[in-house]
Structure 1
Amino acid sequence: MLRQPLPPLSLRTPEGAKVYLPDLKGKPLALVRDLGLAQALARRRADLQAVNAQAYLLAQKPIPSPLPLLLDPKGTLLAAIPPGGALVTDAHLEVYHLGPVRDAEEVLDWLRFVEAQCPECVLPEAEWI
């Protein structure tokens, strides 16, 4: 799944609105399934904004969340993210990380890395010489 597009799944908000994952294109994305990690990322909102990223807590049922909550009732996407892990994509929803993370700082490091990979943000190598 790494360096592949995120599957075009539909999730829900706690209010019942449908969220089609391809509609989240445009900003790097972090999906986490651990409430503690979500709380740590929520405390780092300024850092998320600095890399123009969006972060969500993913759950099967509505729960109180410090980040916007997306519901995956069937657990399809949740099953792919390990406990304490994160899924990080670029602005085009290409998956760069899917696995365990130490803490919110590692999620932010992945988001910074993803932002640096943006072809619109980096000059082609031939122009560097």
Structure 2
Amino acid sequence: MKTTVEISEKTQSSNQILEDLLDGEHYFVLNDFKNKKELHDAVKQVMLDGIEKLEGAKCRQLVEKHGLCKLHEYFPADKLADLDLLIKGSHHIKEIVLQLTFSVGKNNLKISDEFFMEKIRLPSK
């Protein structure tokens, strides 16, 4: 998946991180960001709600107890596409992605000028 980012001349010349990213030889690895735990917990809740909706409360309880890393042991593989659609279609997830995008722009990429975010469409496989 390719992402195109348009950056104003002023921002580009004043921000070394963005300049490095635009040269095509650098990557930005984001491991720590504002409200990381809260966003993680919110995404996890949406996933668990989807699991319950598709497979029932018992499956949700097992996944909660054993962790999402064990999802494959309790949730049927043939329902993964449906879970994916539920998660990506969630208004709450879209709001989280917008909040994260704004936060990364301001706090991690240090974009000092005004910048605009469009409605984000999460990619499907």
The TM tier, using the shorter chain, reads under 0.3
Higher helix share: 2
Larger radius of gyration: 2
Q: TM-score, normalised by structure 2?
A: 0.26
Higher strand share: 1
